Structure 1
Amino acid sequence: MATRAGLASPAFKTSGIDQFLAALIFAAIPFGPVINIGTSGRGAHVALAQVLTFVLALHLAFTKLASITSFKTGLGFGLGLVLIMAPALFIAPDIAPAAVAYFNYSTGVVGGIVIGMAWARSERHTLGVIDAGLAAFLLLGTAQLLTGFLGASSLNSLHQNAQTPWGNSNYVAACLVVGAFVLLARGLETHSFRRVLVPVIAAIIVAMLTLSRGAALSMAVGAAVLLWTAGTRPWQKSILRLCSIFLPILAIYMVTQLEDLRYQGSSHANSNIESRLKLFNAAWADFVESPWFGNGWISFRSVSAGAVEEQSFAHNFLLSFLQIGGIFLGLLTVVIFLALMIRAIRRNPYIAPPLFAAFAISMSDPFFESTVANLLTLSAVFFSLTRPGTTNGSVPTHFQGKAEHRSKPSLQALQYSSSTVRRVPRS
């Protein structure tokens, strides 16, 4: 049964095969498409991670959905996010590429939810097989970028050589940063963060080597939130929060340095920012023309071609979904996304850094419209929402240290001790 604290129900248990499939989805991301439909560059490409997502979703549906109320409720949110944006598929001027875009979005949403649900029922106090799958994704993605960097002739060509089977440059760097923060959150809440430092640090360093300004900003935002929520004593919190305030300044400096390395003093850096603004203006103008239901998936290609250059999405989370689905479809989807994130952070503050990092990159690049980004983000969200044993709006009780549990006597013990205290009469 759903509770006020979240969607969790202790009755829902996952098996070893559920967690193994969830781990495989993460580990399979770097392998990219395994099924290609069509011969053009914009044909349908089905990734191995998407195939495994359907396997896990069907397995959970047939074995759990019929009897578990909380699973129905959790999956209902995912189906809501998928079905709300379905009419935008038929509004689109060209349904074939629109279907591909919608397929990528919906598989990411469903995959993120089923992974999160399987993850939430894993061992509470130790890292498990799904964490290993996420670590494998980070290490394999890092290795793919390093392999691409071998062909770079200079520092400014690192960005152009940051290409992988599952994405390129900014997108890959952002996914590695968000995934690194998710794994770090798992390491912190299980008190075994030293075990995850290698894939986390490697992913973040290599992501910065792509010279992606969006990834640098995402990393700074995630780190700032991490420092703001860290510390156990007042003096520690004061120092760490002061450091988090200076991180935006560091981010601005990093972005400036990345621009110098990437463009070597040319004017292309400024034109890149101007292009983003033109895309934003074009998306808003297109939304104003069809404010209620938008213009459909991939309709932004023709709009952006006239403004700057052809782009599939508006490079801004809010404007992109408004342009695609208008107020009734797109804005509702954005509200649900944000509501789920806020609710998840309130139940489990450990996942605040990756969610803030994901939101930061989504404001300047396409992110939540894709498969991998939704797999990473929504798995963290539904890991929190469907995790049993958490309290309302506070740090989950099972994340407290053993000493904290020992130091707090039970309510029954307190009642018993108060009732048996001998009253000493006054002299």
Structure 2
Amino acid sequence: MTSLFDRFEAAFMPNYGVPPVALARGEGSVVWGIDGTEYLDMFGGIAVSSLGHAHPALVEAVSKQVATLAHTSNLLLHEREVELAEKLLSLLGAPGRVFLANSGTEANEAALKLAIKYGKTTGRSYFVAAEMGFHGRTLGALSLTGKPSIRDQFGPFPLDVRFVPYGDAEALADAVDGDCAAVFLEPTQGEAGVVPPPDGYMARAREITKAAGALLVADEIQSAIGRTGHWFAHQADGYLPDVLTLAKGLGGGLPIGACVGFGPAATVFEKGDHGSTFGGNPVSCAAALAVLGNVDLAHVQAVAAELRDGIEAISHPLLKGVRGRGLWLAAVLTEDRAAQVQAAAQRAGFLVNAVQPDAIRLAPPLVITSAQVRTFLAAFPPILDEAADG
């Protein structure tokens, strides 16, 4: 019989390669492969599975909604999308306007179009983003993405985007003047290896953009919805961006993204300026409402501290340290052996992500238990041993 892996390889374009594990089901922070192997999910579908797998509240919300109304398009409205926009603005604690999309890259595309229109109406012509930043793979979002390995082969790009070193406030200040339309930054760089900036950097970016009259777009695709122990990462840093983009953990596994504008940025778009057939889908909105109603920030903070402290306490030649915020961490290695660590972890029954050659991303479901964290911490040194020897 042809294996599922062979069937995948024969049927799909080769951009993903063949994933190493095929999953059949999940419950909480545990998933099972099609062969019955049990794994502790330590990266949550890239910081997506906020409530883990098969959470009763998510199952109930989605099941009820799909049995009632599954789609409307953007030509009609429904109650769930309004409730979701209102809930997001309530958690943000600031007046604004919401656009709902299907993914993070679409949320960033909306933010980029908004910034382009803002630039045209105010006589501004260029954009600033960070080296090694990641904002998506569609051409607009990719033009803002500072990773040459995924960007360069698809250029040239139509936008004037100037890249500065992430975390260097003086370089940012030098790059932003009265001709800059917008600055796009992640509060912590996710795909670069969960790299946080120096303390005060994002607040300083807020000051710089405000002084120049440029928009500050905070890409919180990975960092929001409780992932850092706060609803939104910017709240802990004491600033409010002009535009905020969200996705991943917002839907708990269902596709949804959001672009939120504040102040003048809230009303840059006019009727007909942007749209999405599936954006604000009732089922995805119901899922997002279930997520927002069931994330426990106190729990996230407690287990995040336990995970971080536990990794910091490990003394191993292959482990350099840990960085990140909340349940969004990178175990940093002394050598480029992340792929070997990921493989060894899989063999030991843990799913982790080799986000960079020397960094392992940990972004487990926000419902992971203290006992599960301790299980991983106990297994991590032997995993590192195997990766070091392999």
TM-score by length of 1: 0.28
Specify the structure having the higher radius of gyration (Cα): 1
TM-score (norm 2): 0.30
> Which structure shows the higher strand fraction?
2
Structure (1 or 2) with the greater helix fraction: 1
